[in-house]
Structure 1
């Protein structure tokens, strides 16, 4: 499915890709829908998809603990309309300073461009970023290519991927975030001012230039830069 989306990325936003695929599939079955029917079908699916999203309060609490210490961002292969709607519905958007959507940028993970776009919006160097993802082919390979440090979310019995290993691995996202939060809570001799609250930040769009924090270089998930200290580098949104 990920490869199919990559091949169809030239069609534009996810709703256009979905409409194209469904139209071809239905046509192969001898079913032809009018344009308005197809649009209604795609919109209905998007609404049901949103309703299926549930907030995990433990994840939200972990992000609350991370936000004062790390600059948090998201890199996604989707488009801004769909991905921002999901984050808003899950009440997680408030935690992130940037959301880099590959379909809007023009290249998809594992191409390094979306990762580098996120780092630029956070005004940090890629090597300061710890990138957390559950697809090694997209997230791990792409983060390595961009110069970031990938953290892999995968079951404990998953074999290690060939080539360069992840900086760390966790069986689930929550254990990764909790470990980072515990690390952030350790005493430190230096600190940086916290990032501005989401309420004081403008709507999604090109981020204003921010000076790189004068802190120990590293960062946190899904893509982030440090506010106070290095994230753990031993061996998941």
Structure 2
């Protein structure tokens, strides 16, 4: 009898570079403003990227509207354009490699590998990302926490429990790989999951460091480094 092992990933800055989505969204907003007001979309895009580097993601659209003398009440419209656009995204190379390895694991091993995602964020936005990355055909289970309500976002135990309930796996048969110590690992560890933090230079959470309770069991700098961890935990060779 095979014993299922669940390898569950975060999405943003774990499987792909979230900046890709931000830039893709900026392009959609720039095109919308260019088409609506006869503005130069490349200049708009450059301004948004400059504001991102200078001030972070706070009030970029507000400032762009002020810069061009446009009604700032349009912010909600621009946010909707940003969130609803169909992004152009690619997996990190190491993400594609590890997913192929895990999906095509050696057939005579005693464990069956189940792949999944738990991700926070507006449901429509996250599903657009997942579809753009072609992950619906790769993952056995996808939990977009916003589908269950904002109270179910990480670090709520709900998404982790749903994985176990839907897959019928025990906590010690699960590992969660993410990048944000403020929410990714604390509950997973309390529930008995194994955890691994991927450190992506330039990632949104790269500079965040927390105490032992919030950090992961393992630190990795590439998803290929999961292979010896899975071998150590479950004798799973991929």
Q: What range describes the TM-score normalised by the shorter chain of this pair?
A: 0.5 to 0.7
2:216 equivalent to 1:166? yes
1:83 is matched with which residue? 126
2:156 is matched with which residue? 111
Q: What TM-score do you get using the length of structure 1 for normalisation?
A: 0.54
Write out aligned runs for 1:32-51 (5 A). 32-33=72-73, 38-39=76-77, 41-44=79-82, 46-47=84-85, 50-51=87-88
2:94 equivalent to 1:94? no
Structure-2 separation of matches of 1:124 and 1:76 = 19
Equivalent of 1:61 in 76, 97, 105: 97
Q: Is the 8 A contact 2:181 2:215 kept in 1?
A: no
Write out aligned runs for 1:212-227 (5 A). none
State the shift of 1:79 in Å.
4.1
Q: Where does the alignment leave 5 or more consecutive residues of structure 1 unmatched?
A: 1-20, 185-217, 219-228, 233-237
Which aligned segments of 4 or more residues in structure 1 are displaced greater than 6 angstroms?
A: 155-160
State the shift of 1:45 in Å.
5.1
Q: Is the 8 A contact 1:140 1:166 kept in 2?
A: yes
Q: 1:89 to 1:155 in 2, by over 3 A?
A: closer
SS in 1 for 2:142: strand
SS in 2 for 1:96: coil
State the shift of 1:63 in Å.
0.8
Q: Which has the larger radius of gyration?
A: 2
Would you say how many aligned residue pairs link Structure 1 and Structure 2? Answer: 162
Q: 1:95 to 1:179 in 2, by over 3 A?
A: farther
Q: Where does the alignment leave 5 or more consecutive residues of structure 2 unmatched?
A: 1-57, 106-111
Structure-1 separation of matches of 2:214 and 2:130 = 31
SS in 2 for 1:142: helix
Deviations 1:19-76 (A, max 9, x none): xx97x968xx794436xx834652245427x12x223344223212112441011111
Structure-2 separation of matches of 1:82 and 1:45 = 5
State the shift of 1:132 in Å.
0.8
